[in-house]
Amino acid sequence: MKNKSFLLSVFYAVSILFSLLIAFNYFFDSYGFFKKNRTIDDAARAIANQRSITGLQNYDERIFQKKVFQNFLQKPKCIVLGSSRSMMIESKMVPHNRGFFNHSVSGASIEDHMAIIALYEKNKALPNKVILSVDPWLFNKNNNQTRWKSLKNEYEYALLALSHAPTKKAAENNDKNIYWQLINYENTKNNLLNFQNTLHDKNTLKIISDEDVDAMIKRGDGSIAYPFKIRHQNDTETLKLAKSYCSAPIYSVENFNELSNTSLFEQLITHLQNNGVEVVLFLPPYHPIAYRYFLNHPKYKYVLEAETYLQTLSHKQNIPLFGSYNPDLYGLTSTDFTDGMHAKTSALQKILQK
């Protein structure tokens, strides 16, 4: 009887904890899986109206890009597709007409690029120019990037536009029920962080007109400015972060054993060109320490091979290419970076001005 009583007590305790977890993830739904997130909606409207904001944290960047797009009064005619390594590209750095927007999202993969293009194509509003910021992991099938799945429907639309059947990867995701998010560890962790920030008043959305603010800024053109700690970081800290970047598994380029997705990448470019879109390739640089690490370690040779492939493609299809993973080609030093893989605004400006 004692054992039975103990098991029942454990069962009831687990059931209560499980119910509390589900309730917490439902009511503190920071990603907006189950109900509207007013903060995200307000932020998207502000950005779409070319207003700069602070206080936007712990949100699904892909869904946010979709909401911004839906709120545009006029669709931009020049866009950037890329990862956090190209989020610093501002409107003033790029010659354009009739609007500019930087759609970069953290850890962008080829699926992200295709999904965001699909937003425009669905609305018959393809831009005149696409600046395609290409990270080497776009061609690494083992990059472990899955965040694109927030825009899986758009990705599948893009696949069909390129005359592909939806991939097994995408088809499997169709069966995924959003209610799993009620017990998903990553979602729970994000909701806890968001709840903590709310308690400390760190999630207060503010529209700003002056960038002299110690906060992460999302500009009205989609680009970002870092908080003061990163904006004014000394080089000793940068060198420390660059070395640390090389000491751990390197972001999305582990198990990079071959160039994958090249056919899909080329078909995307050809599709855009056939629809009158000018395509420009941009290669964001790595910190000198990181790049030398790639050079000296054969296991990362496909990072270098990715650049060689892109240079060949650029010549073959007469596509303008700016930048390089090699910082030396543009005379960049450690002071032009914030860590092993992110360049400062000044570095991207140097590259794009050429």
Each residue's pLDDT tens digit, 243-257:
999 998 999 999 999
- Cα gap 8→263, rounded to integer Å: 57
Taking each helix axis from N to C terminus, what angle separates 262-274 and 301-316, rounded to the nearest 10 degrees? 30
Query: Among 64, 12, 34, which residue's Cα sits nearest to residue 191?
Result: 34
Determine the 3-state secondary structure of 35 from DSSP.
Answer: coil
Q: Distance from first CA to last CA of the chain, Å, rounded?
A: 80
Query: In the prediction, which pLDDT does 248 show?
Result: 84
Query: Among 26, 42, 44, which residue's Cα sits nearest to residue 34?
Result: 26
| pTM of structure | 0.84
- Count of Cβ atoms closer than 10 Å to residue 3 Cβ: 7
C-beta of residue 67 within 8 angstroms of C-beta of residue 51 = no
C-beta of residue 260 within 8 angstroms of C-beta of residue 306 = no
- Cα gap 274→235, rounded to integer Å: 45
Residue with token string 């370690």: 297
Angle among Cα 33, 37, 39 to the nearest 5 degrees reads: 145
Q: Which residues pair with 208 in a beta bridge?
A: 52
Query: In the prediction, which pLDDT does 168 show?
Result: 47
Give every residue of the chain whose pLDDT is below 70, as ranges: 1-4, 6-8, 10-14, 18, 21, 24-37, 164-187, 189-203, 354
| φ, ψ dihedrals at 144, nearest 5° | 60, 20
Cα four-point dihedral sign 122, 127, 129, 133: negative
Determine the 3-state secondary structure of 257 from DSSP.
Answer: coil
Query: In the prediction, which pLDDT does 173 show?
Result: 45
- Cα gap 50→73, rounded to integer Å: 10
